[in-house]
Structure 1
Amino acid sequence: MQIRRCRFEVDEGFVMTGDERSSPSVLSGKEYAVWLADIKARLRQAQLKAAVSVNTALLEFYWQLGSEIVEKQQSAKWGSSFLARLSRDLMKEFPEMKGFSETNLRFIRRWYQFYGDDVSNSVTACDRIEPGVLSAAAGDQKVAQAVPLLTQIPWGHNRVIISKCSSVDEALFYVRKTIENNWSRNILTHQIESGLYGRDGKAISNFSLTLPAPQSDLAQQIIKDPYTFDFLSLSPEYTERELEKGLIKHITQFLLELGSGFAYVGKQRVLTVGERDFFLDLLFYHTRLHCYVVIELKTGDFEPEYAGKLNFYLKAVDMQLKTEQDDPTVGILLCKNHDALVVEYALSDIRKPIGVSEYELVHSLPDDLKDSFPTVEQIEEELRRLEE
């Protein structure tokens, strides 16, 4: 038997044998690289679809299992002790699966019970519900209609939501936000603990008067009140410039707090009007609104003149930066406090779209509670004692 030796050479990012090198039918390095990149992209999409499909099928099974556990406990009066036996039997039969611990079985039952028969009241047409995904065994048809929404997020996310939310409306709000923004479990937890449900879309604005209906609704949804900047550590007498620098230093956390769609453009952007220069605190572009967003920072209470100045900035951006493809520029005024009626009066005759929100920095404990919590040194000492 003759062994043919091949010489390998590197050409423009990939490896070819000597025979391939001399063959006129072989793709060039650039063509191969493009084709390979396309294959990789399609494979990743296939993997993602497979993972989503597996997640959906598993959660549909969990939902049906939760329904059956509840039914068995009610009709057969088995109580909750049988979950330990069910856990042992399932783990014995399916040792490679990790979802059948007694704790997780309790979460499956709790997940099913949490949403209940009224879950459909919180489901809207925008949730893209696909009827017929589950069989009648899944329980009440109204409940079954919501399951395709719940099964679009991982099980760990579902556990976090039912552990931290007090109502179905709040829970489904975070389910939708997770789907929309592709949140990790840590980010989801942060958003729940920061009270996003109570802050989202709550800012006072004039959007309904200054923007067409579809854009005004979306603009209102992207603004919170208050914003939580708990990632900042500023002195009690911080200035607007210090606040601005802190937000830019922690731009990742800042963008997370702003929400999806915000792209950072720059700070202290210079706009020349006439013979004067004006400086925008922060400039963003919103990819869903398709417009520039000017954010102005104030360390004190809202004053009516702030709205007039921001209105001027928006006009300048529309004249100098906005293109024909962009929608009208939106302004967000962040201040430490505001009087709602004063804000409504100030915005009533403003022609540019402006929203006004408060912001919160790190919350400190009241002095009378500080002594109730252990110090870092005390915690470290306790940990050392336990390790001994």
Structure 2
Amino acid sequence: MPDIVPLPADYPAWLTELKSRIHSAQQRAALAVNRELVLLYWQIGQDILTRQTQQGWGAKVIERLAQDLRNAFPDMKGFSPRNLKYMRAFAEAWPDAEFVQAVLAQLPWYHQLALLDKLKSEAERRWYVAKTLEHNWSRNVLVMQIETRLFERSGTAITNFEDRLPKPQSDLARESLKDPYRFDFLGLTEAAQEREIENALVRHVTEFLLELGAGFAFVGRQVLLDVGGDEFFIDLLFYHLKLRCYVVIELKAGTFKPEHLGQLGFYLTAVDRQIKDEHDSPTIGLLLCKSKNKVVAEYALSDKTQPMGIAEYKLLESLPAELQTSLPSIEAIEQALQHTEGESDA
């Protein structure tokens, strides 16, 4: 049995660094391949569009083209008639070649198909493209965000951030909240009480953080505050990594009432004095309620000196009762998407 040669002292650290460099090189290579593939598909789509317009190409020509390309490149997937039509739709949806090269080519092809299939507006597509690149969403997460109408809900909570926070923090804080929040992954009925909702959110904290959005880190639930010997408990406490501040979330199972903000403000003061570090920004409060009168909420916030927001939550989508019980879970959606991707030869 050969003798074991003693390794240099710095060998483990060097090996770790080397593996990291190899992994980074593999990632860069994969991104480069994806970029070239997306650009190739866009160029093919543009050619098809041009010939259809100028020469009146029909579906039969595309079917023949698919057959010829597959014969010429038998080891290369993606030349089915269906995918060629997607290439044409891709080029038609994105006529700006510079934007395709600089931005869209960073996203995998399956992301492009999700954007084409599920969105009709270029403005919405551009918004989801930007968010996907910013947060590195997988295709499944992108699809879920589209289907839960994130674009329509983002930045719509009623807040006083513009008057209580400096720019650009006020804009970022406003965009970090949405209205309504969807808690349909909890499997609760509309009759659920505050503590029941809170318990379920903690059990499903991964989905809850995904719904809250990028930047939120979970700190704790029923966080104890000792104020002058009296004990108080915060429903949910988070820290926002981009805003660099604590976020207190209070749940109310009924309709919003102005007095709710008094309790929330008390918690913000306590967190600022007992928990917040000197380098943290002022703590933000978010009151989640089952329903609210918008005018009442705006009035209630107008004289509050602390940064707060008010938003509704939905335990189930507003669907007919006979359909609510058959709402798919996130797991079911992901499995269906994976099954669809597996069947496609795009």
TM over 0.5: yes
Q: After superposition, what is the alpha-carbon deviation per residue over 1:274-317, rounded to whole angstroms, capped at 9, x for unaligned?
A: 12111100001111111111111111111111112111111111
Change in Cα spacing, 1:365 to 1:342, as seen in structure 2 (3 Å) is: closer
Alignment of 1:257-268 (within 5 A): 257-268=211-222
Q: What percent identity do the matched residue pairs reach?
A: 49
Deviation at residue 97 of structure 1 after TM alignment:
1.4
- Taking a change above 3 Å as real, the CA distance of residues 234 and 158 of structure 1, as seen in their structure-2 partners, is same
Partner residue of 1:146?
99
CA distance in 2, matches of 1:366, 1:235: 14
Say which SS state the counterpart of residue 265 (structure 1) adopts: strand
Answering whether residue 42 of structure 2 is matched by residue 42 of structure 1, we say: no
Name the CA distance, whole Å, in 2 between partners of 1:365 and 1:158: 29
The answer on whether the counterparts of 2:132 and 2:142 sit within 8 Å (CA) in structure 1 is: yes
Which of the numbers 17, 21, 27 marks the counterpart of 2:8?
Answer: 27
Rounded Cα–Cα distance in structure 2 between residues aligned with 1:236 and 1:217: 32
Greater CA deviation, 227-236 or 150-159? 227-236
Q: 2:53 aligns with which of 63, 68, 74?
A: 74
The answer to whether 1:163 aligns with 2:117 is: yes
Q: Does 1:113 align with 2:92?
A: yes
How far did 1:34 drift?
A: 1.5
From 211, 224, 249, give the equivalent of 1:270: 224
| Structure 2 contact 160–307 (Cα < 8 Å) conserved | yes
Contact conserved, 1:281 with 1:297, CA < 8 A, in 2? yes
Deviates more, 1:358-367 or 1:204-213: 358-367
Gaps of 5+ in 1: 8-16, 117-142, 374-388
What is the count of residue pairs matched by the alignment? 323
Say which of 179, 195, 207 aligns to 1:225: 179
CA distance in 2, matches of 1:220, 1:95: 51
1:266, distance to aligned residue in structure 2 (A): 0.3
Structure 1 counterpart of 2:2: 6
For the residues of structure 1 that align with 2:49 and 2:292, how far apart are their CA atoms?
Answer: 49
1:58 is matched with 37
Amino acid at match of 2:158: I
Report the equivalent of 2:298: 344
Task: Provide closer, same or farther for how the CA distance between residues 348 and 200 of structure 1 changes in structure 2, counting only shifts above 3 A.
Answer: same
1:321 aligns with 2:275: yes
Q: 1:100 aligns with which of 67, 79, 82?
A: 79
Q: CA deviation at 1:223?
A: 0.4
Partners of 1:325 and 1:97 in 2: how far apart?
Answer: 54
What is the alpha-carbon distance in structure 1 between the residues aligned to residue 66 and residue 191 of structure 2? 57
User: Could you tell me the TM-score, scaled by structure 1's length?
Assistant: 0.80
One-letter identity of the residue aligned with 1:224: K
Letter in 2 for 1:352: Q
The residue type paired with residue 255 of structure 1 is L
Task: Specify whether residues 302 and 364 from structure 1 end up closer, same or farther in structure 2 by C-alpha distance, changes over 3 A only.
Answer: closer
Q: Cα–Cα, structure 1 residues 168 and 235, in superposed 2: closer, same or farther, change >3 Å?
A: closer
**Whole-angstrom CA distance in 1 between matches of 2:221 and 2:2:** 58
Determine helix, strand or coil for the equivalent of 1:336.
strand
RMSD of the alignment, in Å?
1.5
Larger Rg: 1
- Conserved in 2, the CA contact under 8 Å of 1:73 and 1:80? no
The secondary structure found in structure 2 opposite 1:266 is strand
TM-score, structure 2 length as denominator? Answer: 0.90
